């Protein structure tokens, strides 16, 4: 991301065209710089960070608790049984 930022800022500082900037930094496709500019203008530095690719790893699995309720959620008195469900989901750029 730092290289991308330097390319964009150099282009702006020296008022270069996409072709001139691509030639200066040996970038074969001028569309690449254009995309970086749009992302940088919209999202700042975080827009230049590449998204993770591929399948996410399962990672370390959490501890599974014993099934002591056996799907019997009816309680005889208040606060006798408590249950929860935790679902994990990814947020943008995390």
CA distance 83 to 15: 61
CB 45 within 8 A of CB 36: no
Angle between helices 2-14 and 18-25 (to 10 degrees): 130
Q: How many other C-beta atoms lie within 10 A of the C-beta of residue 16?
A: 16
CB 55 within 8 A of CB 63: no
pLDDT in tens, 3-20: 999 999 999 999 999 999
pLDDT in tens, 43-82: 888 888 888 777 766 666 667 778 888 888 888 899 888 8
Residue 84 has pLDDT above 90, yes or no: no
HSE, CB side, 13 Å, CA atoms: give it for residue 55: 3
Assign 2 to helix, strand or coil: helix
pLDDT band at 89 (very low <50, low <70, confident <90, very high): low
The predicted structure's pLDDT at residue 21: 94
CB 83 within 8 A of CB 74: no
The predicted structure's pLDDT at residue 14: 95
pTM above 0.75, yes or no: no
């Amino acid at each position: 991301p730092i290289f991308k930022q330097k390319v964009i800022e150099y282009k702006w500082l020296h008022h270069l065209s996409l072709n001139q900037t691509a030639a200066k930094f040996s970038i074969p496709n001028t569309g690449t710089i254009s995309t970086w500019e749009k992302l940088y203008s919209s999202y700042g530095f975080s827009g230049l960070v590449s998204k993770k690719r591929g399948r996410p790893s399962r990672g370390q699995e959490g501890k599974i608790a014993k099934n002591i309720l056996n799907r019997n959620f009816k309680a005889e008195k208040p606060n006798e049984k408590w249950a929860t469900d935790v679902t994990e989901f990814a947020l943008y750029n995390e």
